[in-house]
Amino acid sequence: MAAIGWWLTRWVAGAPLRMRFSLLLDAALPASLFVLLLAASARPGFAGAATLVLGAGFAFSDWRKRATLAEPIIVSDVFLSLDIFRHPAVAVPFPDTARVISGAGVAAAAFAVLCALETPAWVWTPWPVLAVLTPVLVLIWVLSGPFNVACGKMLRRLQPTGDPTSDGAAFGSIATLLIYGIVARAERAQRRAPAGVPFVDQRRQGRSAPPLVLVQCESFFDVRRIHPSIYRDLLPNLDRRRSESLQWGHLTVPCWGANTVRTEFAVLTGISDTAIGFDKFNPYQAFARAPIQSLVWQLRAQGYRTVCVHPFDRRFYGRDKVMSNLGFDEFLGEEAFAGARRIGAFVADVEVARFVAELLAQQGDNLFVFAVTMENHGPWPTGTAGRSAGTAAVRWHDLALPPEEQRAFTGFLEGVRNADAMLGVLSESLSKHAPGALLAMYGDHLPSFPQTFRSLGFVDRRSDYLLWRASNFGAGMRKDLAAQHLMGDILAFRQNSRDWRLPG
pLDDT of residue 404: 76
- Residue 188 contacts by C-beta under 8 Å, 6 or more apart in sequence? 277, 279, 286, 287
Annotate 416-444 with b (16+ C-beta within 10 A) or e (fewer): bbbbbbbbbbbbebbbeebeebbbbbbbb
Helices (H), 434-464: 450-456
Instruction: Pick the closest to residue 442 from 501, 482, 476, 390 (CA basis).
Output: 482
- Residue 250 contacts by C-beta under 8 Å, 6 or more apart in sequence? 460, 462, 463, 464, 465, 480, 481
Number of H helices, E strands in the chain: 21, 11
Q: What angle do CA 371, 376, 382 make, to 5 degrees?
A: 160
Tell me whether the omega of the peptide bond preceding residue 450 falls within 30 degrees of 0, making it cis. Answer: no
pLDDT of residue 496: 47
Give pLDDT tens digits along the chain (504 positions): 999 999 999 999 999 998 899 999 999 999 999 999 999 999 999 999 999 999 999 999 999 999 989 999 998 888 777 777 777 777 655 445 566 667 777 777 877 888 888 888 888 888 889 999 999 999 999 888 889 999 999 999 999 999 999 999 999 999 999 999 999 999 999 999 998 876 666 666 667 888 999 999 999 999 999 998 898 899 999 999 999 999 999 999 999 999 999 999 999 999 999 999 999 999 999 999 999 999 999 999 888 999 999 999 999 999 999 999 999 999 999 999 999 999 988 999 999 999 999 999 988 889 999 999 999 998 887 654 544 555 667 776 677 788 878 888 989 999 999 999 999 999 999 988 888 899 999 999 999 999 999 989 999 999 999 999 987 667 788 999 999 999 999 999 875 443 433 333
Phi, psi of 10 (to 5 degrees): -75, -35
pLDDT of residue 201: 61
Q: What angle do CA 439, 275, 304 make, to 5 degrees?
A: 30
Residue 30: CB atoms within 10 A of its CB come to 21
Amino acid at 488: G
pLDDT of residue 498: 38
pLDDT of residue 501: 35
Give the three-class secondary structure for 482: strand
pLDDT of residue 500: 35
Domain segments of the chain: what residues?
2-193, 212-499
pLDDT of residue 100: 64
Class of domain 212-499: alpha beta
pLDDT of residue 387: 47
pLDDT of residue 334: 95
Instruction: Pick the closest to residue 412 from 441, 372, 378 (CA basis).
Output: 378
Give the three-class secondary structure for 432: helix
Torsion on CA atoms 64, 67, 72, 73, rounded to nearest 10: -30
pTM exceeds 0.75, yes or no = yes
Q: Is 344 left (phi over 0), alpha (psi -120 to 50) or beta?
A: left
Residue 396: CB atoms within 10 A of its CB come to 13
Residue 296 · residue 370 · CB < 8 Å: yes
Q: How far, in Å, CA of 61 to CA of 326, rounded?
A: 33
